[in-house]
Structure 1
Amino acid sequence: MKKIATYYVFSGANTALVKVEQPIPELNAGEILVRIRYTTLCGSDLHTYCGLRNEPSPTILGHEIVGVVEDISPSHSGLDAQGNSLHIGDLITWTVFSSDPSTGVYQSETPQKNDKLYKYGHRQITEEDNLHGGLATHIILRPHTCLRILPKDISLAVAATINCAVATSAGALRLAGTITGKNIHIAGIGLLGLVSIAMCRELGAKNIIASDINPARLAMAKSFGASHTIDLSETEESTLLQDISVDRFIDMSGSPEAMELGIETLALHGSAILVGAVFNQRKTGIDAEKAIRKMLTIKGLHNYNYTDFSNAVDFIIENWQKYPFTSLIEREFPLEEVNAAINYALTQKPIRAGLAIYTPITQI
């Protein structure tokens, strides 16, 4: 008797996802079978659905996932990234990628940029390669996937966001350098921005300035620890960025205007970390003379490394109840209503829409 997995297939832009059921294959060497408990819809999933981002298709979207270990290949180490023993029934999170360290171009500082990277929620379905996305009842974790065991009492909805938004925010702060006692400006108050604000607050930032064009998002920023907010939609320009000497600028918006303002208003020896500009847009202008005279550092970040991932796990375990993280998953749907969930996310633009996945044991 074989267990059956259910997943929903994306085949083209703005087209409803189609339900598929198939037997779960036998695990290959080093693999782990996970029963998915929760998936949140990331902005990149929605960009793919709308045709703003190209992914190989047909595919199973979804990479912000949390689940329970259901089977472990005998050749797997049986350990998580902290050296803890894995057991059937453990709640786990994992990196959005599997990165083989034996490849010639592998760099431990940037495993997410390795050759032939295996990215969950971003792969084409084939007969030999499936069950690799979050809009499903099961997923198979491939070898070289970094994973962590989570406390069983953690919010599943919050835990699902660790391996994308939270880990990327941790990476941005790593690149930013010292946060304690510094004045921080964070542009773009989506999930990445809110997580970054809370992280900066926990690290002892002096002032945390949040900027956005959405007043409701700026109100959220206050609840996550922002000390000041700037509404960029207002016609009267704020003087706050001149009044407070900004040491670190982190852009999660991807807006050229926001990036230009943030870099322009950095103080001497300031650092800018650019994260949000992952789609086609106009070029961002930088005053090179000012960058030189202020001795600025400008860095880009795409995804995250293993240290960032583990820091993200630790941060959420310690702080998910201290800040209103659960409120950010603004509506929850069962997996079978995935198309309604996507429509809600596109029309209502919540921080996140969630899919709670209950998996009855079905066999053939």
Structure 2
Amino acid sequence: MSAPPLPTRGQLRVVEAATRWYLARYFDSPDDPGVTRRFTEPAQVGAFAIAPEQLAAGDNAALFRLLVMTTMFQRRQDQQILRILRGMSPQRAREVTDRDALLRHADACACPHTKTNEALINACDLTKDATRRGACQASPTVPCVLKEHTVWLKRYGHFGKVPTSAALNLRERGHGGLEELYASSLARLRTRDARAIACEEALTSSWRVSAKIACMFLSAISNPDLARGLAPWQRGLEWRRYVVIDSNVDLFLEAIAYRGSNTYEARRAFLREVSRRVDLRSMSRRLHRDNPRVVQQAMYVFMSASNRRAAARDCMHLGPAACRRCPRTLRERCAVRSV
């Protein structure tokens, strides 16, 4: 891959202004969609909430539950996904996040397409029928928990494959859980960057786990500034690799006239170059000087109109006077400006 374009002074001014805005308004608050703590709070995620001490310890069950939760955050607004999570019963939340139970169901199912991750991805044609019930053409009469999961998760018709695919992927790699994936990367690979890449690539072998979703999960358990005591994978991984690039981040990049390639790797490299030039320590002594995930989160929150409208703390609720006080570099790019 060719080197990313270097950020211009003008681009850096906008990024720095957005980062200061984010740190002042959102960072580490109950309305910050990027902090790991959100996944431990029943008020946010309902019965999916993880005990903080289990997450901090790198407990396999806690990590797998977090992985399933993070896969939900794609192509829908955060607030919609949070409502889905909160609306699921404790029993159903346990069933779709219990790795061992998912594997038992897959092994016991009469359908051959649940036996391997490859078959599940390529041969299983899980969908929803006209009545919104789980259905398929490959084994239409075979009882299958995936047909139930796809209804419970309230996403695409094929989304019910997600939890079982993640469980099969880990087993086929010889890991008893996600903690073993991490331990294996530490033992096999010499550099922090190689380990970080290996963990990301392993996760993206699961159904609907893109680089974005893998980075969301991995940053939640490795980034010291966003996890704050809940980062069991911080040691030994290049956690700066994990940035979450979605449509809102792309809107910000467009707003600052990013001219590089549109591949995930190119945008990731550009964000890391930007972060190297944004001194977070000068903005908050609580932060590492260079943290691309924090800079990226500032871009995301600033451009996320739905999250901002839902947050009472957002300056958009203060009316035109607040907009006039905002730096022009931000005001003219704001998705919810009043003036």
Larger fraction in helix:
2
Q: TM-score, normalised by structure 1?
A: 0.26
More strand by share: 1
